[in-house]
Amino acid sequence: MPGLLIAAPSSGAGKTTVTLGLLRALSRRGLAIRGAKSGPDYIDPRFHAAACGAECINLDAWAMHEDRLHALAAGPETLVVEGAMGLFDGAPPDGRGACADLARLLGLPVLLVVDAARMAQSVAPLVAGFARFDPEVRIGGVVLNRVGSPRHETMLRRSLDAIGMPVLGALPRAEGIAHPSRHLGLVQAEERQDLKAFLDRAADLVAAHINLDAVLALAARAAPRPSASGPRTPPPAQRIALARDAAFAFAYPHLLEDWRAQGAEIVTFSPLADEAVPEADLVLLPGGYPELHAGRLAAAQNFMHSLRSASHVSDIYGECGGYMTLGETLTDADGHVHRMAGLLDLATSFERRRLHLGYRRVETSHGPFAGRWAAHEFHYATTLSANGTPLFEAVDAEGVALPPMGLRRDRVCGSFAHLIDRA
C-alpha cells in the first residue's frame, strides 16, 4: 500500500500544484491513485478528486484519533497526501496536528517541495535542517519549484547532492498554473470553468519535470497501512436532508460515510436552486459561501418557507455558513443587508471582516450533535448581534476557555464551529 506526503518548509511553496499534477499524471498512467489533505480543509479535496477521479479524504492529526487516521488511510491505492502550511507547523503550543505527525503515524515518506526562486546554495542547509529535525519523519526527496534557468537548477542540484538528498524534479517558473483565491482559500473546483484544462496543464508540467518513476519508488517505501474499519461516528438522525450547492459545500466526507454505513439516509437539496427542504429528521446546512450568494438565498422563498416550516417538525443544524443562514440578517462585503431565515436571533456581516481561526473542543448536551467534539473555526464574518441560549461550551487548542459558541432555539441550533470528529 504505497503512499507519500507532499510537504514544504512553508505555505506558498507550491505543494498544491505538485500534488494535483502528480495525481493527474499518475492517474493518466492508469494507476489507482487517491488523494488526501492534511488538516481541516474543504476546498483542496475537491481539486484532488477532480484530478484523479477518487474521493479525497481529510486526515487531521489534531482532531482525529490514531485509529481513525489509520482506517481512513487504509486501502490498496497509492495515497498522495497534501500537507498544510510548513511540514512541522501545527496548533499551539507545540505544533500538534502538523502534517509531520501524519508522516510519523502513518509511516509515509516525505517529498519536500522547496520554493527555490530566491536561493541557490542555501537550499542545502535548509533541506538538511528539515531532514535532521525529527528522525521519525523521513524526507525521501526534494522537488525544486520556480527554478529560474538550467544554470540555476544545476547550482541547486549540486548543493543538494553534497548532502545526499535526492532531487526528484525541478519545476520551472510557469504561467497559467496559478489558483484564483478568495478569503477562505482557493476558488472551489466546481467554480472553475477551465478545471480540466488547468489540471491537465499541471499534470503536463509535472510529467515533464518530475521523475514519476522515482516518485512511485519513494511511495513504495511507505510503511504498510493496516486494513481497519476504525471507529465510526453515530448518525445524528435516521433521515438527513443535506444542503449541497455552491453556497453549502463544506461537509466532511468521512462523517457522511460514517452515517451512511450505519444506516442513515442522506438526501441532498439545493437552496440556491430554491428547492424545498425534503422531509427529514434532521436538516443540515453545512458551511460554504452564503455571503457570495446572499441575494439569491434571500430571494429563494420556496427554500426559506420550507425551512421555517421544517423547524416545527425536524431538528435543524447550521454550521458556519449554514449558521449565518439561520439568522435574521447577513450583510455582504458591499454593505447590503439580506434577510435570512430568521430562525435564530443572529445578525452577521462581511462588511468589516475579521479572521477567526483555530482548533476548538466544543461540548453540548443539546441538539443532534450532543456530546464532545473536536472542531475547527475558520471564518471572516463578524457577529453584529447574537441573542439567546448558547449551544456549545468551548476551549481552544491550548485548553483556554472561550466564550460560549453558537445559539439554540427550540429545534434549531448552530455555530461557527466545523465539527470534525468525536473528542
Angle at 50 (CA atoms; ends 219, 421), nearest 5 degrees: 75
Residues contacting 242, CB < 8 A, separation 6+: 251, 256, 266, 267, 268, 269, 284, 286
Options 52, 56, 99, 320, the catalytic residue: 320
Q: Which cell numbers hold the place of 304?
A: 426559506
β 329-331/282-285 pair status:
unpaired
Q: What is the spatial distance between Cα 282 and Cα 155, in angstroms, rounded to a whole number?
A: 60
Q: Which cell numbers hold the place of 54?
A: 477518487
Do residues 9 and 25 make contact, with C-beta atoms less than 8 angstroms apart?
no
- Which alpha helices (DSSP H) does 62-149 contain, by range? 66-73, 99-106, 123-133
β 382-387/345-349 pair status:
antiparallel
From edge to edge, which strands make up the β-sheet containing 110-115?
57-59, 33-38, 78-82, 3-7, 110-115, 139-147, 167-172
Do residues 366 and 413 make contact, with C-beta atoms less than 8 angstroms apart?
yes
- Cα distances (angstroms) measured from residue 311 to each of 279, 285, 366: 11, 13, 16
Q: Catalytic residue at 52?
A: no
Q: What is the spatial distance between Cα 242 and Cα 134, in angstroms, rounded to a whole number?
A: 43
Q: What Rg, from alpha-carbon coordinates, does the chain have? A: 22
Do residues 73 and 65 make contact, with C-beta atoms less than 8 angstroms apart?
no
* Residues taking part in catalysis: 320
